[in-house]
Structure 1
Amino acid sequence: MISYPTNSKQLMKIAFIFKTCLVLVPQVLCLPLLAQRAEKADTVVVDPESAAVQIGYGTQPAQHITSAISTVQGTSLEKNFTLNLGNTLYGRLPGLTVSQGGSEPGASTPGLFVRGVNTIGGAATAPLYVIDGFISNGSGPSNALMQLMPEEIESVSVLKDASATAIYGARAANGVVLITTKAGRSGPLKVSFTTKQGFNQAQYLPKFLDSYQYASLFNEALRNDGLAERYSQADLDAYRTGADPYFHPNVNWYDQVLRKIAPASSYNLNFSGGDNYVRYYVMLNALNSQGLFKKFGDQNEESSNSKYSRYNFRTNLDINLTTRLSAQFKIAGALEQTMNPNNYTTGGTFSLLASLPPNAFPVYNPDGSFGGSSLYANPVGNMLATGFYKNNSRTILSSLKLTEQLDMLTPGLSVSAAVSINNYFESGSQKSKQYPRFAISKNDAGETVYGPAIGQLTSLVGSEITLDQYRNLIFQGSLDYKRSFGKSDLSGMLLFSSDNVTLFGSSAEPGTPSANSTDPYKHNAASGRLSYVYNNKYIAGFSASYMGSESFPEGKRYGFFPAGSLGWIASNEGFMKQVKAIDFLKLRGSYGLTGNDLIAGLGLSGRYAYMPTYGGAGYFFGTGNNGAGGYAEINIANPNLTWEKEKMLNLGMDATIFKRLDIAFDYFKRDRYDILVASNATMPQFTGIPTPNLNQGKTRSAGFELALRFNSRKDAALGYFLEGNVSYFKNKIVFNAEALQFNKELYATGRQIGQPLGLKAIGFYSQQDIEKRLADPKSVPGVLTEVIRAGDIKYEDVGGADGKPDGIIDGNDRVAIGKPGLPNFTAGLHGGLRYKGFDLDLVFQGVSGNTVYLGGNYFHAFQANGQVAAIAEGRWTEQTASSATYPRLSSKDNLNNYQFSSFWQRNGSFVKLRSAEIGYTLPTPVSDKLRLETIRFFVNGTNLFSWDKVPYGDPESLAGYPVTRTITAGFRIQL
């Protein structure tokens, strides 16, 4: 029987929500609201799991955790504006490195790395993503985890050691990221609405030199190459004064294509509540962000504005069907749409902007036609007159879990069965056309002459294609046991799971949702965990998985992955009671084995590498050398193909001091082996056919993590907290089966993973060097493919046939230069204040131990007929030989100066203010008068500032779509 409230205030709330549901919420999402049993307004139910930590397939009391796990609550991630969940995790979780993947709406996804990288050869390095207990496939923008909204997330946990990840078996060596979404809780109906309105702006745009500077420096480059100058003094004067904009243009193409700011907005509405029978959580979210392109769609109906939108929804239901049988039903999804002029993504446009000289041609010719040349297209013409592209995607995540309590057999025993069906589909709509552009010149009479049309005018034509698709079907069955016997606490879990992933599209690697294959990727596993706690002091745990995959040979498809852990809550010992400063102290350690089955070559090209492949071959016979077709073995099979394996040791400590300072420390050591690598050192090349990759590689990594949190007293008028974390790792390649090298510096074995190898720059050639080289070329080493001149970059000669200098600079002279691109030191600082309704929240992230490379048109002046940037103003000349910071200018594609070398490397360290928010919550009496529970106003900023050592742009993204900062203002209302 349903009881109805008599309180008028509650009736008004329910009426308001009912109207909102009818207007905004699909009927299926309103069902849990209509099924609600109304409770008294002051009903409060405490969640019994509130002190629990999410672990693989379950929870465990925080004080009994013996694994390395870092957790952040979803409410902490809401205080910024991002289009991608990964961008909320910077600096939040010790052991998790987040690398920025660009800022293009709908196309940029950050990279996540748990305790760095510990594999080579092209194997997957990303962690395993698990949402509400079900493994999520997909990468890049199609990754379901990245599409989630912070408002629907209860917590994000990172499982880092073997005892936490072993139950995921051969899929967990790179770590596991667990997402737990919000669930309804018993209590009255609660409604919350939040909106954010703001804008994006480019944090930094490339600063190329103008036409006068370009022409002056290009003349200098020609002189340096012994060629005649191109631009006369009259030309230079025209560029400087701007008196002849058609024949001496000075175009800032970034200003022509981009706008200063682009609007962004977000709307979130959620409902939660329930009783002893039904509990529900429902969320709707609308996210919109316009791109930095100008509104070309407003100027031409056959173009489009750049915009991105996503609509998220979620319904989580917990139902007690009987006193023993309960059900969890969850359905969530995201609908995305991205529109751009000219192409699906913006990479081609920004490549053109970075290479097109400012004096190449005007945007428009005198007659209004588009300027252009046979070498370069017109970026504005591309935006306005080549059509538009739209891609739509939808993600559906659904699951049903039934749990039966088996207390009639033994107290604490339960059995569960679950099924999850996940689906991703992306389609593209391409509306394309061509347009003519014209180069202009003057005849002898000074009249404007138009060259022949470059390109032709065509009508708009369309095509519809499938860009990406995958399906994932997961079955799970489990037994759970939890019981106390006197001083003993025992808990255990036994899980059987099977998942089937079918991938479509164009990508070739598993783990991405676009591998063009109808053959499903399948995993079967039996996993278990057992934990024993005695007297709330001594803890022992064991977890394991027996897992198999069809990607490996029959008879070798299954493996066993065990892990064990021990813990000691020292603060519960009698002798520790005398130490008043220490409120809690736990020591823990773990050791175990995990695997990584996303090894190199499991895409289309090597999906079944344990089987030989055959293809066409040709042979020649007779004195006439006549060819004849044939059939031959292309690749030798590797019948012993297997997954990577990793042994991990973790030692940790958790403590609370003076009731206000929390400390967590972990030391880890990882040894990975059976990495699939080329067998260059172990199989001879005279076999005549490509030798198979073998599981011979070995790597090692070690490091530590430290997390601190200090809180104010709970009753303090000024409340505050400050938490910080640091993570450090150092890895190296132990064995890589490399081919023999003349120069021992070229071996990757013994070096860091990802260590760059290049030429070591030792200054610039002087005129004396050139004279010596002319007399004896080997006395001053140089590249053989370029005429060396004074002012060119000089490199160290280290690699001859006998391991000694040979007077030639070539590939054998490469050495270890700089550091890998992934930082091995990451720090985060998160702080907050609250005072009389006001609150402040700040998140900083810093990294070190990485190198960035200055490449492309922005840094290599005049290469590929490109631009010249301000960095070239420090060029070498005879007058600046002692202070030059840049090589001499050259109008040619210089094969010496733009080698991959230490000259173009820079320190990639930085500190960034990732997010900041200031807010004000109205006092309770004011909220009550407005018939609201709370109302809060706020202003926040995302990716606000960067302090780094690269003055030419953001060290995480030096090319392509600009890194953006976002400023929004909004409010949150809760009924």
Structure 2
Amino acid sequence: MKRTYTIPVFLVLLLGVFGNVHAQQRTGQLPTLDSVAVFPALAVTNIGFGNLPTQRVTSALSTVYGSDLEKNFSLNLGNTLYGRLAGLSVTQGGSEPGASTPNLFVRGVNTFGAAGNAPLYIIDGYISNGAGPSNAFMQLVPEEIETITVLKDASATAIYGARAANGVVLVTTKAGKAGPLRISFTTRQGFNQAQYVPKFLNAYNYSVLYNEALSNDGLPTRYTPADLDAYQNGTDPVFHPDVNWYNQVLRPTAPVSSYNLTFGGGDKFVRYFVNLNAITSQGLFKKFGDMNDESSNSNYAKYNFRTNLDVNLTQRLSAEFKIAGSFEQSNNPNNYTTGSTFGLLAQLPPNAFPVYNPNGSFGGNALYANPVGNMLATGFFTNNSRTVLSSLKLTEQLDMIAKGLSASVSVSINNYFESGSRKSKQYPRYSISRGVAGDTIYSPAVGQLTSLAGAEETLDQYRSLIFQSFLNYKRTVGKNDISAMLMFNSDNVTVFGPANDLSTPTANSTDPYKHNNGAARFTYTYNNKYLAEVSAGYMGSDIFAPGQRYGFFPAASVGWVLSGEKFLSNNKTIDFLKLRGSYGLVGNDNIVTQGLSSRYAYTATFGGGGYFFGTGNTAVGGFAENAIANPNVTWEKEKSLNIGVDATLFKNFDLSVDVFNRDRYDIVVASASTTPLFSGIVTPNLNQGKANNKGFDVALRYNATQKKDFQFFVESNFSYFKNKVVFNAEAIQLNSRLYAAGNAIGQPIGLKAIGFYSLEDIAQRQLDPKNVPGVLSEVIKAGDIKYQDIGGPDGKPDGIIDANDRMPIGNPGLPNLSLGLHTGFRYKGFDADLVFQAVTGNTVYLGGNYFQAFQGNGQVAPIALNRWTPQTAATADYPRLSSKDNLNNYQFSTFWQRNGSFVKLRSAEIGYSLPTALSDRVRLKTVRFFVNGTNLFSLDRVPYGDPETLTGYPVTRTVTLGLKVQL
């Protein structure tokens, strides 16, 4: 069984002491070590639609280099960002290759509804559309990325208008540099393995406990002593099977590999960067395609390409051409994704039937399918997707008009298409019984044998067309540095949605999503000490009513470089010190998924309805108004305040601290408190909700002197947020604890468990039923979970446990405190790199067949061994067993909540580079060998699996051997 750990307080404090650095305070050399040298200082920072010298940035930003992210093997870019950036929370979305995508949150959750909390993704200045696996950001590979920058405050995001209140994630891909041709090749070969596979009791223990559950329910037992002996001794595997279904379907390891080839170079006229990348990962399923030609092995492959070309067409005119793409293919037996397979594995008892009957047919019955039969004999499914990102930008220097003036125009065309190939069939399965003469009796077949049938399907599709134009001005006059930008952006996104029932089609999917945005930014610096910036966006969105589509989003920030003042100029402790602050208004128009009746909520819609006439109640179709139109619906708005300080101390120690307060309002909520239901109309959702989020980001870095043989760095980040619902227009509740207002966003609401009913409780209940509250319609027995009764007026007991007894329990699923620790060293040819992540302040829930014994005809896990019985009443930590779907014990309650805190080693790499003299002999600039591991271990308080993903496809760890050569 997996060991459990308590995260020591001293470890949390230690991780908080060392921190990852925000982009704005990278004033010295970067701490990252590669096989050649330490990267130079970050001289300029991408602040969105432009760059600014790092020391002059007054916004809240965090940056990570693509070269750092390369030290971790992942199929998805988002999974490389754990613990990397202050203010960025990354939650695991599963480990299934090609089907699992993490969620990113900038400074936590700021509005109601998870769909409205995603940041805006920008790749090389162009919006990256799509959600989940179709998000082009997630499909990028670290080898093509220069930096990823997270914009966190209004000063940085206001120019993105009504789309940036949840933060912005900027990606800058690598550009060609003048010089001779440089070629780099890297390969990794290794394997995946499940960190934890769910454990269930064997057939003997299952049978013993099931008999106990039947007895508890007053029903006759199913298994005789002879049955139990056969299960325990394994003497009758046909009629008394003991099948570990996970072992039948999964293998212990699965191969992975990657290949990356990069070209770069150029001269003062043409510079180019070319990247080719291939990643393959075989799934954890056994090779069922090798066993049956009409099945398939599980595998995933992704191929990325990128060409970035910079050309000086004339002395003043330059062009940037970028084209990139990703091609993905995944194969699986049984279905496109693995969810149904793992759901069956978690439900199927070990003694339900053997994998194969004596005559070679598949075991099974009408209640349960056979997982092995499903994998071998239901066909195979293939997903194919392609993403193409292309852009062309022309820039003209207009020094003849004004020195430092330039103009640019650009166009970007992006496309995503996903298709599926369904090759399906059916197979018969048979249950068996022993005849009087000891022979085998086969039941009629469940299902029938069919031939393989194919269908080609469109699973998802979208395309975007983006136009941009810029007017930029940069000038230094004496001690005055001025930069200004005017920008216009227009984008059209057409989402076609699936052409079948595999997922929910996008509402109004054929209508293009249209945004127009004008933005301006003015930055002023005096004497490299006094900094000021004013920015604004003016954006329009087509989902709102005419006359309500455009909004103005201003922001301003100031900074003061105190280390430039005379009173600190000779200070030997403080090398750099900057104070900064920002305030502004930003918006979020991603509100369709948060409860609007339709994409165009400002228009009335009609449907359903009808009347009945005559004595026969003959139905006559008609139309009725759906939710009333809301012509005033608008985007969410947020007033955002940020105060920060950046410092470099003792030359090698960098510090950055940000404190923020975000007031979100005009959140779309149901009008339950303002319009009564007895009005007889379906009321629209209104912009009435309010929320607040406050917290801080801390980032620290220590970088050892680079001239020594032994070089090392330690950097860390510490992020904390605390949000709450301020107003939610909620319906009146009998129990005031049921209101969301005043609680954290996403606060779980459930029953509070206060132990188990004792034999004395039940005896008292029989004497006076009013003394022991009932729960729903369930008959309460000793060993059932007891809940706190607060459902009466003013929170007083009313003798009934029902929905009114719920209260805030536990914490939301997103940790509100996150820490990252990145450290490494280099000694001569050896180098190492480690990334740890720690989180706390979140709660996980144990539910379904994995934890709730015998529910839904499921099996039983070891968590139930310490169940309540009259003999174990004093020590039990699990309710009495029941063969029924118990309405009392499996309520959403504190009993099934666990602390979701953990510390994880997200990635580790150890490498060795051949001495220069030796590599020169083989005419190579660099030769480096390395070993890399991802998700190597977890210290947590959940012994039943990974606290990030307790169900479905197992969380995997990856170990690879690699080689990198540079010409």
Normalising by structure 2, report the TM-score.
0.95
Q: Which residue number in structure 1 is paired with residue 321 of structure 2?
A: 329
Distance in 1 of aligned mates of 2:935 and 2:49: 34
Does the residue aligned with 1:353 lie in a helix, a strand or coil?
helix
Query: Which runs of 4 or more aligned residues in structure 1 lie more than 3 Å from their structure 2 counterparts after TM superposition?
Result: 46-50, 512-516, 600-605, 619-630
Which residue among 930, 940, 943 is the counterpart of 1:951? 943
Paired letter, 1:430: R
> Is the CA contact 1:515–1:603 (under 8 Å) kept in the aligned structure 2?
no
Distance in 2 of aligned mates of 1:580 and 1:836: 31
Does the residue aligned with 1:250 lie in a helix, a strand or coil?
coil
Distance in 1 of aligned mates of 2:841 and 2:42: 38
Distance in 1 of aligned mates of 2:497 and 2:505: 8
Which residue among 381, 386, 404 is the counterpart of 2:396? 404
Q: Which residue number in structure 2 is paired with residue 471 of structure 1?
A: 463
Which residue among 674, 699, 703 is the counterpart of 1:682? 674
Paired letter, 2:798: D
After TM superposition, give the deviation of residue 714 of structure 1 in Å.
1.2
Paired letter, 2:853: A
Q: Deviations over 1:429-459 (max 9, x none)?
A: 0000000000000111111011101100000
> Is the CA contact 2:776–2:888 (under 8 Å) kept in the aligned structure 1?
no
Which residue among 542, 549, 558 is the counterpart of 1:566? 558
C-alpha distance 115-802 of structure 1, shift in aligned 2 (>3 A): closer
Does the residue aligned with 1:444 lie in a helix, a strand or coil?
coil
C-alpha distance 628-298 of structure 1, shift in aligned 2 (>3 A): closer
Which residue among 920, 929, 932 is the counterpart of 2:924? 932
Paired letter, 2:949: S
Does the residue aligned with 1:575 lie in a helix, a strand or coil?
helix
Does the residue aligned with 1:713 lie in a helix, a strand or coil?
coil
Q: Which residue number in structure 2 is paired with residue 29 of structure 1?
A: none
Does the residue aligned with 2:318 lie in a helix, a strand or coil?
strand
Matched, 1:586 2:578: yes
Distance in 2 of aligned mates of 1:621 and 1:452: 48
Matched, 1:856 2:844: no
Q: Which residue number in structure 2 is paired with residue 369 of structure 1?
A: 361
Q: Which residue number in structure 2 is paired with residue 204 of structure 1?
A: 196
Q: Which residue number in structure 1 is paired with residue 265 of structure 2?
A: 273
C-alpha distance 788-390 of structure 1, shift in aligned 2 (>3 A): same
Q: Deviations over 1:196-245 (max 9, x none)?
A: 00000000000100000000000111111111110001000000111100
> Is the CA contact 1:137–1:513 (under 8 Å) kept in the aligned structure 2?
no
Q: Which residue number in structure 1 is paired with residue 17 of structure 2?
A: none
Q: Which residue number in structure 1 is paired with residue 3 of structure 2?
A: none
Distance in 2 of aligned mates of 1:202 and 1:848: 24
Q: Which residue number in structure 2 is paired with residue 93 of structure 1?
A: 85
Distance in 2 of aligned mates of 1:643 and 1:895: 41
Which residue among 779, 791, 795 is the counterpart of 1:787? 779
Matched, 1:420 2:420: no
After TM superposition, give the deviation of residue 772 of structure 1 in Å.
1.3
Matched, 1:339 2:356: no
After TM superposition, give the deviation of residue 683 of structure 1 in Å.
1.0
Paired letter, 1:340: N
Distance in 1 of aligned mates of 2:270 and 2:158: 34
Pairs within 5 Å for 1:421-500: 421-500=413-492
After TM superposition, give the deviation of residue 634 of structure 1 in Å.
1.6
Which residue among 288, 299, 310 is the counterpart of 1:318? 310
C-alpha distance 598-470 of structure 1, shift in aligned 2 (>3 A): same
Count of equivalent residues: 929
Matched, 1:728 2:692: no
Distance in 2 of aligned mates of 1:594 and 1:776: 60
Does the residue aligned with 1:165 lie in a helix, a strand or coil?
helix
Matched, 1:294 2:270: no
Paired letter, 1:288: T
Q: Name the stretch that deviates more: 604-613 or 760-769.
A: 604-613
Paired letter, 1:350: F
Matched, 1:642 2:634: yes
Distance in 1 of aligned mates of 2:619 and 2:91: 53
Distance in 2 of aligned mates of 1:464 and 1:457: 22
Distance in 1 of aligned mates of 2:252 and 2:453: 32
Q: Which residue number in structure 2 is paired with residue 261 of structure 1?
A: 253
Which residue among 162, 166, 171 is the counterpart of 1:174? 166
Q: Which residue number in structure 2 is paired with residue 611 of structure 1?
A: 603
Pairs within 5 Å for 1:93-132: 93-121=85-113, 123-132=115-124
Distance in 2 of aligned mates of 1:787 and 1:819: 31
> Is the CA contact 2:116–2:593 (under 8 Å) kept in the aligned structure 1?
no
Matched, 1:890 2:882: yes
Q: Deviations over 1:460-503 (max 9, x none)?
A: 00000000000010000000000001000000110001000000
Paired letter, 1:934: T
Which residue among 665, 684, 707 is the counterpart of 1:692? 684
C-alpha distance 182-675 of structure 1, shift in aligned 2 (>3 A): same
> Is the CA contact 1:551–1:602 (under 8 Å) kept in the aligned structure 2?
no
Q: Which residue number in structure 2 is paired with residue 7 of structure 1?
A: none
Distance in 2 of aligned mates of 1:953 and 1:507: 37
Higher relative contact order (CA 8 A, sep 6+): 2
Paired letter, 2:221: E
Unaligned stretches of 5+ residues in structure 1: 1-43
Matched, 1:960 2:958: no
Q: Which residue number in structure 1 is paired with residue 23 of structure 2?
A: none
Q: Which residue number in structure 1 is paired with residue 4 of structure 2?
A: none
> Is the CA contact 1:54–1:157 (under 8 Å) kept in the aligned structure 2?
yes
Matched, 1:386 2:378: yes
Does the residue aligned with 1:857 lie in a helix, a strand or coil?
helix
Distance in 2 of aligned mates of 1:972 and 1:572: 43
Q: Which residue number in structure 2 is paired with residue 193 of structure 1?
A: 185
Q: Which residue number in structure 1 is paired with residue 10 of structure 2?
A: none
Distance in 1 of aligned mates of 2:150 and 2:115: 21
Matched, 1:217 2:214: no
C-alpha distance 917-50 of structure 1, shift in aligned 2 (>3 A): same
Which residue among 856, 876, 885 is the counterpart of 2:868? 876
Matched, 1:718 2:715: no
Report sequence identity in percent: 72
Does the residue aligned with 1:635 lie in a helix, a strand or coil?
coil
Q: Deviations over 1:149-201 (max 9, x none)?
A: 10000000000000000000000000000000000001111000000000000
Q: Which residue number in structure 2 is paired with residue 910 of structure 1?
A: 902
Distance in 1 of aligned mates of 2:179 and 2:748: 58
Paired letter, 1:806: D
Distance in 1 of aligned mates of 2:774 and 2:224: 34
Matched, 1:551 2:558: no
Q: Deviations over 1:26-84 (max 9, x none)?
A: xxxxxxxxxxxxxxxxxx9x999951011110110000000000000110000010000
> Is the CA contact 1:515–1:604 (under 8 Å) kept in the aligned structure 2?
no
Matched, 1:303 2:259: no
C-alpha distance 130-231 of structure 1, shift in aligned 2 (>3 A): same
Distance in 1 of aligned mates of 2:663 and 2:182: 50
After TM superposition, give the deviation of residue 687 of structure 1 in Å.
2.2
Q: Which residue number in structure 2 is paired with residue 741 of structure 1?
A: 733
Distance in 2 of aligned mates of 1:121 and 1:115: 15
Distance in 1 of aligned mates of 2:820 and 2:593: 36
Distance in 2 of aligned mates of 1:623 and 1:78: 75
Matched, 1:521 2:516: no
Unaligned stretches of 5+ residues in structure 2: 1-35
C-alpha distance 311-601 of structure 1, shift in aligned 2 (>3 A): closer
Does the residue aligned with 2:927 lie in a helix, a strand or coil?
strand
C-alpha distance 323-192 of structure 1, shift in aligned 2 (>3 A): same
> Is the CA contact 2:596–2:684 (under 8 Å) kept in the aligned structure 1?
no
C-alpha distance 515-945 of structure 1, shift in aligned 2 (>3 A): farther
Q: Deviations over 1:635-690 (max 9, x none)?
A: 20001000000000000000000100000000000000000000000112122121
Which residue among 49, 55, 65 is the counterpart of 1:63? 55
After TM superposition, give the deviation of residue 912 of structure 1 in Å.
0.3
C-alpha distance 628-437 of structure 1, shift in aligned 2 (>3 A): closer
Normalising by structure 1, report the TM-score.
0.94
Q: Name the stretch that deviates more: 724-733 or 602-611.
A: 602-611
> Is the CA contact 2:108–2:721 (under 8 Å) kept in the aligned structure 1?
yes
> Is the CA contact 2:818–2:839 (under 8 Å) kept in the aligned structure 1?
yes
Matched, 1:753 2:745: yes
Paired letter, 2:841: G
Which residue among 277, 287, 293 is the counterpart of 1:285? 277
Q: Which residue number in structure 2 is paired with residue 632 of structure 1?
A: 624
